[in-house]
Chains A and B, each alone.
Chain A
Amino acid sequence: MSLDQLTNEAPAYNFAYLDEQTKRMIRRAILKGIAVPGYQVPFAAREMPMPYGWGTGGVQVTASVLGESDILKVIDQGADDTTNAVSIRNFFAKTANVDLTTHTSEATVIQTRHRIPEEELQEHQTLVYQVPIPEPLRFLEPRETETRKMHALSEYGLIHVKLYEDIATHGHIATTYAYPVMVEGRYVMDPSPTPKFDNPKMHKSKALQLFGAGREKRIYALPPHTDVVSLDFEDHPFTIQEWPDTKCAMCGAEGVYFDEVILDDAGNNMFVCSDSDYCETRQSEGHLGPLNADYKERMQ
Chain B
Amino acid sequence: MPMPQQAIAQGFTDLTHQSQQSFKAIMDAMAQPGKIYDAPHKVDNAGALNPVAAMTALTLCDAETLIYLDEALNTPETRQFLAFHTGAATTSDPQKAQFAFLSSAEALEGDHNFNMGNHEYPDQSSTVIIAVNDLANQAGVTLSGPGIETSRAFASSSLNQQFWQQAEANNAEYPLGIDHIFVTETQLAALPRSTKIKLDPAQGE
* B-binding residues in A (CB < 8 A): 14-15, 20-21, 23-25, 27-37, 39, 41-42, 64-68, 148-149, 151-153, 184, 186-187, 204, 208, 221-227
Determine whether B136 belongs to the interface, using a CB cutoff of 8 Å to chain A.
no
B119-177 contacts to A, CB under 8 A, are 119-123, 125, 127, 145-149, 174-175
Pairwise interchain contact A31-B194, C-beta atoms closer than 8 A: no
- Measured CB to CB, the nearest residue on chain B to A40 is B123
How far is B146's CA from A226's CA once the two chains are assembled, in angstroms?
5
Given the known A-B contacts A34-B31, A36-B175, are A27 and B59 also in contact in the complex, defined by CB atoms under 8 Å? Answer: yes
Pairwise interchain contact B27-A186, C-beta atoms closer than 8 A: no
How far is B27's CA from A221's CA once the two chains are assembled, in angstroms?
11
How far is B192's CA from A34's CA once the two chains are assembled, in angstroms?
8
* A-binding residues in B (CB < 8 A): 15-17, 19-21, 23-24, 26-28, 30-32, 59-62, 64-65, 98, 119-123, 125, 127, 145-149, 174-175, 179, 192-194
Q: Which 7 A-B pairs have the closest CB atoms?
A: A223-B147, A35-B192, A152-B119, A32-B123, A223-B31, A226-B146, A67-B20
How far is B149's CA from A224's CA once the two chains are assembled, in angstroms?
8
Residues of B within 8 A of A39 (CB): 122-123, 175
A-B contact pairs, 26 of them (CB 8 A): A14-B16, A15-B17, A15-B20, A20-B15, A24-B60, A28-B60, A30-B27, A31-B30, A33-B123, A34-B27, A34-B30, A34-B192, A35-B179, A35-B194, A36-B123, A36-B194, A64-B23, A65-B20, A67-B17, A67-B24, A151-B120, A187-B175, A208-B27, A224-B149, A225-B146, A225-B148
Pairwise interchain contact A23-B19, C-beta atoms closer than 8 A: yes
Beyond A29-B123, A36-B194, A186-B174: 4 further Cβ-contacts under 8 Å? A20-B19, A25-B62, A28-B98, A33-B123
The one of A25, A186, A221 in contact with B175, judged by C-beta atoms closer than 8 angstroms, is: A186
Pairwise interchain contact B60-A15, C-beta atoms closer than 8 A: no
